[in-house]
Chains A and B, each alone.
Chain A
């Protein structure tokens, strides 16, 4: 890892970041995946779908809007958070306002990488 860059811990592993990056941006840049939906690199982070919710030093926060801080302990791949993410996706489907069959880029949508098995 680079000596120059500050780091935070994501599920116990050090993730380097450049100041100004959000937790999600730094994780993705380091090749670590945090499930997310409304975040897109070409738009300003918005934090409304709540899929990318992680625990930072014990507090829940959306990783797409939370600036990375040196030394922070971030938890993402936990049974509790994944169960809540699954419930959140269920809510989106229950709401009935989704157009997956029509999505031209469905094959590359980030939802294809969500955990599909029950914990």
Chain B
């Protein structure tokens, strides 16, 4: 997914690969929604023969919907990258191999379009580990550093 500053790049096997077709989007379009549309398309079109594509395209679709709903995290972005990599390596046919590419390409070149939708950009999934310990701290009457989880660790 090339960006405006990629206009001097070439459509070629060595540079920007294509199956012979390309789509132009103008700046009024929301790149995240374009990628989410592709995720839905591939989940719909997967024939279900092989494991990575049958399950992976559905998981990618669910993750994109989760991010759209404002419930995503950095962890979800990493999962998208891992799943797209698996699809590329292990799928049976070209559909599965390319199913993750719109997501990988937009994540690489338009990452802010994803990140501004995340619930928390710094942290892990929406579960507050330190907060979960608050009750145990109250019960034991402890509030020393050892009873807290460090920030981010």
- A-side residues, CB < 8 A to B, are 47-51, 53, 60, 84, 87-88, 91-92, 94-95
**Could you give 21 example pairs across A and B, Cβ below 8 Å?**
A47-B92, A48-B49, A48-B50, A48-B51, A49-B51, A50-B92, A53-B89, A53-B90, A60-B89, A60-B90, A84-B89, A84-B90, A87-B82, A87-B86, A88-B52, A91-B51, A91-B52, A91-B55, A91-B56, A94-B55, A95-B55
Contact pattern, B 71-97, Cβ under 8 Å of A = 1, otherwise 0: 000000000001100100111100000
Size of B's binding interface in residues, CB under 8 A: 15
Q: Which residues of B line the A interface, CB within 8 A?
A: 49-52, 54-56, 59, 82-83, 86, 89-92
Bound-complex Cα distance A47 to B51 (A): 10
Instruction: Please judge, given known A-B contacts A84-B89, A87-B82, A88-B90, whether A49 and B55 are in contact too, CB under 8 Å.
Output: no
In the complex, chain B residues whose CB is within 8 Å of the CB of A51: 51
- Residue pair B51, A88 in contact (C-beta under 8 Å): yes
Chain B residues positioned under 8 Å from A50 (CB to CB): 50-52, 90-92
